[in-house]
Homo-oligomer: A and B are copies of this chain.
Amino acid sequence: MKYIESKKNEEIKQINKLNKTKEIKKTGTYLIEGFHLVREADENNQKILTIIVTEKNEEDQLVKKYYDNALVVSDDIAKGLSDTTTLQGIFAVIKINEPEEIPTLNGQWVILANVQDPGNVGTIVRTADAAGYDGVITSLDSADIYQPKVQRSMQGSQFHLPIYRLDLQDAISRAKDAGLTVYGSEVNDQAVPYNTLNKVDNFALIMGNEAHGLSEDALQMTDQNIYIPILGKAESLNVAVAAGVLMYGLKDF
């Protein structure tokens, strides 16, 4: 265990950089915040490289478990690391653990195609977990899941189900090759209301960009395009809400 008082400490400066995707990629590590997430990471056998706490949390069991890799920092340093307004005073640096090879897809998957908002990406992963989906694939142009804001909104679901990052066309091809029915979400002439579908057990649901929806290329690759009927005067739904309605709506439970 080490005590750090200065914001200029090299280790702290390095950890602070983990709010940038570039640094996350370079180091192969990312930062999480709060008791709930750090406990989930620990319970789900993630590799915790460093645990950072304020003095009031110095006696916590987690600190004892990771004693050799614990940093006790001032409230001021903790505030600098924090992405939230209500400081819990606990953080961890985690080693990214991505599989060398992606297994054949099976069951029910969500594919995020250029979903940009970190809160949307995180919330969709959380909902996929709640709805009992088998995993999530994010396209290369979606928000990076290791960003602090995405990590926070996933609320620990990142440790419950696999999340793969793939080229969109590659992801769709893998889903089709594995025999999953691929649903695009889009309003067009060939699309049908989600609630009129015959439910299937194995499928992939693609959710598109917040402003532009799914690209024409992706829509061409789907087996069926579906939409949520707008029964009032709104132009559209928030993509995380739409994903939730569809994820539960497509399940047979």
Determine, out of A75-83, A141-149, A178-186, A227-235, the stretch whose residues face the partner at the interface.
A227-235
Interface flags for A123-159 (1: CB within 8 Å of B; 0: not) read 1001111111100000000000000000001011100
Q: Once bound together, how far apart are the Cα atoms of A232 and B110, in whole Å?
A: 14
> Closest residue of chain B to A36, judged by CB?
B235
B249/A248 in contact, CB under 8 A:
yes
Interface flags for A224-242 (1: CB within 8 Å of B; 0: not) read 0000111111111110111
Residues of B within 8 A of A128 (CB): 232
- The contact of A232 among B133, B153, B245, B249, by CB within 8 Å, is B133
A240/B237 in contact, CB under 8 A:
no
A232/B132 in contact, CB under 8 A:
yes
Given A126-B237, A240-B240, A245-B244, residue A232 in contact with residue B131 (CB < 8 A): yes
Kindly report how many copies of this chain are found in the complex they form together: 2
| Chain B nearest CB, measured from A33 CB (Å) | 17
* Residues of A32-73 whose CB lies within 8 A of B: none
| Chain B nearest CB, measured from A207 CB (Å) | 13
B241/A253 in contact, CB under 8 A:
no
Given A131-B231, A132-B231, A233-B160, residue A241 in contact with residue B195 (CB < 8 A): no
> Closest residue of chain B to A44, judged by CB?
B233
* Residues of A155-211 whose CB lies within 8 A of B: 155-157, 160-161, 195
- The contact of A160 among B129, B132, B232, by CB within 8 Å, is B232
**What total of chain A residues lie within 8 Å of the partner, measured CB to CB?**
38
Residues of B within 8 A of A238 (CB): 123, 126-127, 153, 240, 244
A130/B236 in contact, CB under 8 A:
yes
The residue among A127, A133, A236, A248 with the most chain B CB atoms within 10 A of its own CB is A248
Q: Once bound together, how far apart are the Cα atoms of A191 and B236, in whole Å?
A: 31
A253/B195 in contact, CB under 8 A:
yes
Chain A residues with CB under 8 Å of chain B are 119, 123, 126-133, 153, 155-157, 160-161, 195, 228-238, 240-245, 248-249, 251, 253
A-B contact list, 26 entries, CB within 8 Å? A119-B119, A123-B238, A126-B238, A126-B241, A127-B234, A127-B237, A127-B238, A127-B241, A128-B232, A130-B228, A130-B230, A130-B236, A131-B231, A132-B230, A132-B231, A156-B235, A157-B232, A160-B232, A160-B233, A195-B253, A228-B248, A240-B240, A241-B243, A244-B244, A245-B248, A245-B249
